[in-house]
Amino acid sequence: MLSIGKLSGLTGVKVPTIRYYEQIGLLPKPERNEGGQRIYNNTSRERLNFIRHARELGFPLEDIRELLALSDSPDQSCDAIDAIAKRQLAEVEHRLVRLNALYKELERMVAQCTCGTVQTCRVIQVLGDHGLCVADHQKIMSHDIDQ
Amino acid sequence: MLSIGKLSGLTGVKVPTIRYYEQIGLLPKPERNEGGQRIYNNTSRERLNFIRHARELGFPLEDIRELLALSDSPDQSCDAIDAIAKRQLAEVEHRLVRLNALYKELERMVAQCTCGTVQTCRVIQVLGDHGLCVADHQKIMSHDIDQ
DNA sequence: CTTGAACCTCTAGTTACTAGAGGATGTAGC
DNA sequence: GCTACATCCTCTAGTAACTAGAGGTTCAAG
Protein backbone atom coordinates (compact mmCIF):
# COMPACT_ATOMS: atom_id res chain seq x y z
CA MET A 1 0.00 0.00 0.00
CA LEU A 2 2.92 2.32 -0.67
CA SER A 3 3.27 4.75 -3.52
CA ILE A 4 6.70 4.99 -5.10
CA GLY A 5 7.23 8.32 -3.36
CA LYS A 6 6.46 6.84 0.05
CA LEU A 7 8.72 3.89 -0.60
CA SER A 8 11.43 6.31 -1.62
CA GLY A 9 11.01 8.27 1.59
CA LEU A 10 11.11 5.14 3.72
CA THR A 11 14.18 3.61 2.11
CA GLY A 12 16.16 6.64 1.12
CA VAL A 13 16.35 5.45 -2.48
CA LYS A 14 15.32 8.08 -5.00
CA VAL A 15 12.21 7.59 -7.09
CA PRO A 16 13.97 7.38 -10.48
CA THR A 17 16.44 4.94 -8.98
CA ILE A 18 13.63 2.65 -7.86
CA ARG A 19 12.21 2.68 -11.36
CA TYR A 20 15.69 2.01 -12.69
CA TYR A 21 16.09 -1.00 -10.41
CA GLU A 22 12.79 -2.31 -11.69
CA GLN A 23 13.87 -1.75 -15.27
CA ILE A 24 17.04 -3.77 -14.88
CA GLY A 25 15.19 -6.52 -13.05
CA LEU A 26 16.58 -6.03 -9.55
CA LEU A 27 13.11 -5.30 -8.22
CA PRO A 28 10.08 -7.26 -9.45
CA LYS A 29 7.42 -5.35 -11.34
CA PRO A 30 4.96 -4.13 -8.72
CA GLU A 31 1.16 -4.04 -8.87
CA ARG A 32 -0.48 -0.97 -10.33
CA ASN A 33 -3.61 0.86 -9.25
CA GLU A 34 -6.42 1.72 -11.72
CA GLY A 35 -4.56 4.84 -12.72
CA GLY A 36 -1.46 2.83 -13.62
CA GLN A 37 0.70 3.99 -10.71
CA ARG A 38 2.96 1.57 -8.89
CA ILE A 39 1.93 0.24 -5.49
CA TYR A 40 4.37 -1.47 -3.17
CA ASN A 41 4.18 -3.59 -0.03
CA ASN A 42 6.57 -4.38 2.79
CA THR A 43 8.27 -7.15 0.84
CA SER A 44 9.37 -4.67 -1.80
CA ARG A 45 10.48 -2.40 0.97
CA GLU A 46 12.70 -5.06 2.53
CA ARG A 47 14.18 -5.98 -0.80
CA LEU A 48 14.95 -2.36 -1.54
CA ASN A 49 16.52 -1.89 1.86
CA PHE A 50 18.71 -4.89 1.17
CA ILE A 51 19.81 -3.41 -2.13
CA ARG A 52 20.45 -0.04 -0.61
CA HIS A 53 22.54 -1.39 2.18
CA ALA A 54 24.56 -3.58 -0.12
CA ARG A 55 25.17 -0.56 -2.37
CA GLU A 56 26.34 1.44 0.60
CA LEU A 57 28.84 -1.30 1.24
CA GLY A 58 30.08 -0.89 -2.30
CA PHE A 59 28.71 -4.08 -3.82
CA PRO A 60 28.15 -3.68 -7.55
CA LEU A 61 24.59 -4.24 -8.77
CA GLU A 62 25.53 -7.51 -10.44
CA ASP A 63 26.76 -8.89 -7.14
CA ILE A 64 23.59 -7.70 -5.47
CA ARG A 65 21.55 -9.44 -8.10
CA GLU A 66 23.37 -12.65 -7.25
CA LEU A 67 23.04 -12.12 -3.51
CA LEU A 68 19.31 -11.59 -3.88
CA ALA A 69 18.95 -14.75 -5.93
CA LEU A 70 20.92 -16.70 -3.34
CA SER A 71 18.94 -15.26 -0.47
CA ASP A 72 15.81 -16.58 -2.13
CA SER A 73 16.92 -20.18 -1.63
CA PRO A 74 17.40 -20.32 2.14
CA ASP A 75 18.31 -24.00 2.46
CA GLN A 76 21.43 -23.85 0.35
CA SER A 77 24.89 -23.52 1.78
CA CYS A 78 26.00 -19.96 2.13
CA ASP A 79 29.43 -20.56 0.64
CA ALA A 80 28.59 -18.62 -2.49
CA ILE A 81 27.45 -15.64 -0.45
CA ASP A 82 30.55 -15.78 1.63
CA ALA A 83 32.67 -15.82 -1.51
CA ILE A 84 31.01 -12.68 -2.86
CA ALA A 85 31.42 -10.89 0.44
CA LYS A 86 35.07 -11.88 0.68
CA ARG A 87 35.72 -10.78 -2.87
CA GLN A 88 34.19 -7.43 -2.02
CA LEU A 89 36.28 -7.22 1.12
CA ALA A 90 39.45 -7.84 -0.86
CA GLU A 91 38.40 -5.24 -3.41
CA VAL A 92 37.80 -2.64 -0.75
CA GLU A 93 41.09 -3.43 0.91
CA HIS A 94 42.91 -2.96 -2.36
CA ARG A 95 41.24 0.39 -2.93
CA LEU A 96 42.09 1.39 0.60
CA VAL A 97 45.77 0.69 0.15
CA ARG A 98 45.90 2.59 -3.10
CA LEU A 99 43.93 5.51 -1.81
CA ASN A 100 46.26 5.76 1.13
CA ALA A 101 49.25 6.00 -1.18
CA LEU A 102 47.48 8.67 -3.21
CA TYR A 103 46.70 10.59 -0.11
CA LYS A 104 50.29 10.59 1.05
CA GLU A 105 51.57 11.77 -2.28
CA LEU A 106 48.99 14.50 -2.64
CA GLU A 107 49.71 15.66 0.85
CA ARG A 108 53.41 15.81 0.20
CA MET A 109 52.83 17.65 -3.05
CA VAL A 110 50.58 20.24 -1.49
CA ALA A 111 52.89 20.69 1.48
CA GLN A 112 55.82 21.47 -0.80
CA CYS A 113 53.98 24.19 -2.67
CA THR A 114 55.30 27.51 -1.46
CA CYS A 115 52.74 29.34 -3.54
CA GLY A 116 54.90 31.46 -5.73
CA THR A 117 54.36 31.55 -9.48
CA VAL A 118 53.19 28.74 -11.70
CA GLN A 119 56.73 28.46 -12.99
CA THR A 120 58.06 27.25 -9.67
CA CYS A 121 54.91 25.48 -8.51
CA ARG A 122 55.74 22.19 -6.94
CA VAL A 123 52.38 20.72 -7.78
CA ILE A 124 52.89 21.28 -11.49
CA GLN A 125 56.43 19.98 -11.29
CA VAL A 126 55.47 16.79 -9.55
CA LEU A 127 52.58 16.15 -11.89
CA GLY A 128 54.83 16.62 -14.88
CA ASP A 129 57.68 14.50 -13.70
CA HIS A 130 56.95 11.03 -12.47
CA GLY A 131 60.47 10.81 -11.13
CA LEU A 132 59.64 13.29 -8.39
CA CYS A 133 57.25 10.84 -6.79
CA VAL A 134 58.09 8.77 -3.81
CA ALA A 135 60.38 5.88 -4.60
CA ASP A 136 57.97 2.97 -4.23
CA HIS A 137 55.36 4.69 -6.29
CA GLN A 138 55.68 2.31 -9.19
CA LYS A 139 54.98 -0.70 -7.09
CA ILE A 140 51.65 0.60 -6.07
CA MET A 141 50.50 2.70 -8.95
CA SER A 142 51.81 1.04 -12.03
CA HIS A 143 49.17 -0.75 -13.96
CA ASP A 144 45.75 0.16 -12.83
CA ILE A 145 44.37 3.59 -12.56
CA ASP A 146 41.47 3.35 -10.20
CA GLN A 147 39.94 5.51 -7.60
CA MET B 1 58.58 11.35 -34.49
CA LEU B 2 56.46 8.99 -32.47
CA SER B 3 53.58 6.89 -33.71
CA ILE B 4 50.58 6.66 -31.44
CA GLY B 5 51.59 3.12 -30.53
CA LYS B 6 55.08 4.21 -29.50
CA LEU B 7 53.69 7.09 -27.48
CA SER B 8 51.33 4.66 -25.83
CA GLY B 9 54.19 2.34 -24.93
CA LEU B 10 56.28 5.19 -23.54
CA THR B 11 53.56 6.73 -21.41
CA GLY B 12 51.49 3.71 -20.43
CA VAL B 13 48.34 5.33 -21.79
CA LYS B 14 46.38 3.07 -24.12
CA VAL B 15 46.02 4.00 -27.76
CA PRO B 16 42.24 4.51 -27.75
CA THR B 17 42.61 6.61 -24.62
CA ILE B 18 45.09 8.90 -26.35
CA ARG B 19 42.66 9.37 -29.21
CA TYR B 20 39.93 9.99 -26.67
CA TYR B 21 41.99 12.70 -24.95
CA GLU B 22 42.51 14.34 -28.31
CA GLN B 23 38.80 14.14 -29.05
CA ILE B 24 37.83 15.93 -25.85
CA GLY B 25 40.54 18.52 -26.37
CA LEU B 26 42.94 17.55 -23.59
CA LEU B 27 45.66 16.85 -26.12
CA PRO B 28 46.16 19.12 -29.13
CA LYS B 29 45.56 17.61 -32.56
CA PRO B 30 48.92 16.24 -33.66
CA GLU B 31 50.54 16.37 -37.07
CA ARG B 32 49.77 13.61 -39.53
CA ASN B 33 52.05 11.84 -42.00
CA GLU B 34 51.13 11.44 -45.68
CA GLY B 35 49.13 8.36 -44.83
CA GLY B 36 47.06 10.29 -42.32
CA GLN B 37 48.50 8.68 -39.20
CA ARG B 38 49.23 10.71 -36.10
CA ILE B 39 52.83 11.69 -35.33
CA TYR B 40 53.87 12.96 -31.92
CA ASN B 41 56.89 14.67 -30.43
CA ASN B 42 58.34 15.01 -26.96
CA THR B 43 56.05 17.88 -26.07
CA SER B 44 53.01 15.67 -26.55
CA ARG B 45 54.76 13.03 -24.54
CA GLU B 46 55.31 15.35 -21.60
CA ARG B 47 51.77 16.58 -21.73
CA LEU B 48 50.45 13.03 -21.77
CA ASN B 49 52.70 12.07 -18.88
CA PHE B 50 51.32 14.98 -16.94
CA ILE B 51 47.78 13.86 -17.64
CA ARG B 52 48.54 10.30 -16.74
CA HIS B 53 50.15 11.18 -13.49
CA ALA B 54 47.33 13.49 -12.51
CA ARG B 55 44.84 10.76 -13.33
CA GLU B 56 46.76 8.34 -11.15
CA LEU B 57 46.38 10.84 -8.36
CA GLY B 58 42.66 10.78 -8.93
CA PHE B 59 42.20 14.20 -10.49
CA PRO B 60 39.14 14.30 -12.74
CA LEU B 61 39.76 15.22 -16.36
CA GLU B 62 38.12 18.60 -15.94
CA ASP B 63 40.57 19.49 -13.18
CA ILE B 64 43.41 18.29 -15.35
CA ARG B 65 42.19 20.48 -18.17
CA GLU B 66 42.35 23.43 -15.82
CA LEU B 67 45.76 22.49 -14.46
CA LEU B 68 47.12 22.22 -17.99
CA ALA B 69 45.73 25.62 -18.87
CA LEU B 70 47.27 27.11 -15.74
CA SER B 71 50.61 25.47 -16.34
CA ASP B 72 50.72 27.17 -19.72
CA SER B 73 50.93 30.61 -18.10
CA PRO B 74 54.04 30.26 -15.96
CA ASP B 75 54.19 33.79 -14.59
CA GLN B 76 50.87 33.73 -12.83
CA SER B 77 50.50 33.00 -9.16
CA CYS B 78 50.01 29.36 -8.41
CA ASP B 79 47.16 29.93 -5.99
CA ALA B 80 44.62 28.44 -8.36
CA ILE B 81 46.73 25.32 -8.77
CA ASP B 82 47.13 25.02 -5.07
CA ALA B 83 43.37 25.29 -4.63
CA ILE B 84 42.71 22.46 -7.06
CA ALA B 85 45.28 20.25 -5.39
CA LYS B 86 43.88 20.97 -1.96
CA ARG B 87 40.36 20.26 -3.11
CA GLN B 88 41.54 16.93 -4.47
CA LEU B 89 43.34 16.21 -1.22
CA ALA B 90 40.17 16.84 0.76
CA GLU B 91 38.21 14.65 -1.64
CA VAL B 92 40.65 11.80 -1.26
CA GLU B 93 40.63 12.14 2.48
CA HIS B 94 36.86 11.95 2.53
CA ARG B 95 36.89 8.82 0.40
CA LEU B 96 39.52 7.33 2.63
CA VAL B 97 37.45 7.81 5.76
CA ARG B 98 34.39 6.30 4.16
CA LEU B 99 36.22 3.40 2.66
CA ASN B 100 37.71 2.63 6.02
CA ALA B 101 34.26 2.46 7.57
CA LEU B 102 33.10 0.18 4.77
CA TYR B 103 36.06 -2.03 5.25
CA LYS B 104 35.42 -2.44 8.94
CA GLU B 105 31.81 -3.31 8.43
CA LEU B 106 32.50 -5.78 5.66
CA GLU B 107 35.18 -7.39 7.74
CA ARG B 108 32.87 -7.75 10.69
CA MET B 109 30.16 -9.16 8.49
CA VAL B 110 32.41 -11.73 6.89
CA ALA B 111 33.93 -12.68 10.22
CA GLN B 112 30.53 -13.42 11.69
CA CYS B 113 29.53 -15.78 8.89
CA THR B 114 29.78 -19.31 10.21
CA CYS B 115 29.02 -20.66 6.79
CA GLY B 116 25.95 -22.72 7.40
CA THR B 117 22.88 -22.35 5.22
CA VAL B 118 21.65 -19.22 3.53
CA GLN B 119 18.88 -19.06 6.09
CA THR B 120 21.28 -18.36 8.91
CA CYS B 121 23.88 -16.48 6.90
CA ARG B 122 25.09 -13.45 8.74
CA VAL B 123 26.00 -11.63 5.56
CA ILE B 124 22.45 -11.84 4.25
CA GLN B 125 21.06 -10.84 7.63
CA VAL B 126 23.23 -7.80 7.97
CA LEU B 127 22.53 -6.69 4.42
CA GLY B 128 18.82 -7.04 5.00
CA ASP B 129 18.68 -5.26 8.30
CA HIS B 130 20.29 -1.91 8.64
CA GLY B 131 19.86 -2.12 12.40
CA LEU B 132 22.53 -4.79 12.60
CA CYS B 133 25.18 -2.35 11.49
CA VAL B 134 27.56 -0.69 13.83
CA ALA B 135 26.00 2.14 15.79
CA ASP B 136 27.67 5.12 14.18
CA HIS B 137 27.00 3.84 10.73
CA GLN B 138 24.49 6.54 9.90
CA LYS B 139 26.86 9.33 10.67
CA ILE B 140 29.25 8.21 8.03
CA MET B 141 27.08 6.59 5.42
CA SER B 142 23.93 8.57 5.36
CA HIS B 143 23.55 10.70 2.34
CA ASP B 144 26.07 9.88 -0.25
CA ILE B 145 26.76 6.54 -1.71
CA ASP B 146 30.19 6.71 -3.24
CA GLN B 147 32.99 4.35 -3.84
C1' DC C 1 55.16 -7.98 -53.27
C1' DT C 2 52.79 -10.01 -49.82
C1' DT C 3 51.34 -10.49 -45.18
C1' DG C 4 50.23 -9.09 -40.79
C1' DA C 5 50.62 -5.59 -37.35
C1' DA C 6 49.35 -1.15 -36.49
C1' DC C 7 46.74 2.52 -37.82
C1' DC C 8 42.21 5.13 -39.20
C1' DT C 9 37.00 6.65 -38.19
C1' DC C 10 32.71 5.79 -36.32
C1' DT C 11 29.29 3.91 -33.35
C1' DA C 12 27.82 1.81 -29.33
C1' DG C 13 28.54 -0.22 -24.72
C1' DT C 14 30.06 0.06 -19.79
C1' DT C 15 28.20 1.49 -14.42
C1' DA C 16 24.75 3.38 -11.80
C1' DC C 17 22.32 6.52 -12.07
C1' DT C 18 20.32 11.61 -13.08
C1' DA C 19 17.80 15.16 -15.74
C1' DG C 20 14.35 16.66 -18.58
C1' DA C 21 10.30 16.68 -21.78
C1' DG C 22 5.63 16.10 -22.16
C1' DG C 23 1.69 14.30 -20.35
C1' DA C 24 -1.62 11.67 -16.92
C1' DT C 25 -3.32 11.02 -12.19
C1' DG C 26 -4.21 11.83 -7.28
C1' DT C 27 -5.46 14.88 -3.53
C1' DA C 28 -6.52 19.02 -0.79
C1' DG C 29 -9.06 23.09 -0.37
C1' DC C 30 -13.02 25.89 -1.73
C1' DG D 1 -17.86 19.70 -8.43
C1' DC D 2 -13.81 22.23 -9.59
C1' DT D 3 -9.30 23.90 -9.56
C1' DA D 4 -4.56 23.82 -8.38
C1' DC D 5 -0.66 21.49 -7.63
C1' DA D 6 2.03 17.62 -6.16
C1' DT D 7 3.07 13.29 -7.62
C1' DC D 8 3.06 9.99 -10.94
C1' DC D 9 3.83 7.96 -15.82
C1' DT D 10 7.08 6.82 -20.09
C1' DC D 11 10.78 7.85 -22.88
C1' DT D 12 15.12 9.72 -24.31
C1' DA D 13 19.48 11.46 -23.47
C1' DG D 14 23.36 12.78 -20.52
C1' DT D 15 27.11 11.90 -16.93
C1' DA D 16 32.72 10.09 -16.36
C1' DA D 17 36.25 8.04 -18.48
C1' DC D 18 36.99 5.19 -21.07
C1' DT D 19 36.56 0.29 -23.85
C1' DA D 20 35.14 -2.71 -27.64
C1' DG D 21 34.05 -3.66 -32.14
C1' DA D 22 33.15 -3.05 -37.18
C1' DG D 23 35.02 -2.16 -41.39
C1' DG D 24 38.63 -0.30 -43.81
C1' DT D 25 43.66 1.78 -44.81
C1' DT D 26 48.67 2.15 -44.20
C1' DC D 27 53.18 0.73 -42.73
C1' DA D 28 57.18 -2.31 -42.15
C1' DA D 29 59.48 -6.73 -42.43
C1' DG D 30 60.78 -10.59 -45.11
Task: State pLDDT tens for residues B1-52.
Answer: 899 999 999 999 999 999 999 999 999 999 999 999 999 999 999 999 999 9
B147 in contact with chain A, both atoms CB, cutoff 8 A: yes
Asked if A141's CB is within 8 angstroms of B56's CB, the reply is yes
Angle (deg, nearest 10), helices A79-112 and B79-112: 160
Task: State pLDDT tens for residues B96-106.
Answer: 887 888 788 88
CA distances from A92 to A11, A75, A135, B95, B147 (A): 25, 29, 24, 12, 9
| Span CA (B8) to C1' (D29), Å | 22
Least CB–CB distance from A58: residue in B50, B78, B147: B147
Q: How many angstroms separate the CA atoms of B80 and B69, rounded?
A: 11
Question: Comparing A122-131, B87-96, B128-137, which segment has the lowest mean pLDDT?
Answer: B128-137
B4 touches strand C (CB under 7 A): yes
Residues 88-127 of B with CB under 8 A from A: 88-89, 92-93, 95-96, 99-100, 102-103, 105-107, 109-110, 113, 115-121, 123-124, 126-127
B68 in contact with chain A, both atoms CB, cutoff 8 A: no
Task: State pLDDT tens for residues A50-76.
Answer: 999 888 888 889 989 988 888 887 777
Which domains are assigned to chain B?
Answer: 4-58 (1.10.1660.10), 90-141 (no CATH)
CA distances from B15 to B32, B37, B39, B40, B54 (A): 16, 13, 13, 13, 18
Least CB–CB distance from A113: residue in B73, B82, B123: B82
B74 in contact with chain A, both atoms CB, cutoff 8 A: yes
CB B123 within 8 A of CB A81: yes
B46-55 in b/e form (b: 16+ CB < 10 A) is ebbbbbbbbb
Say if the ipTM goes beyond 0.95: no
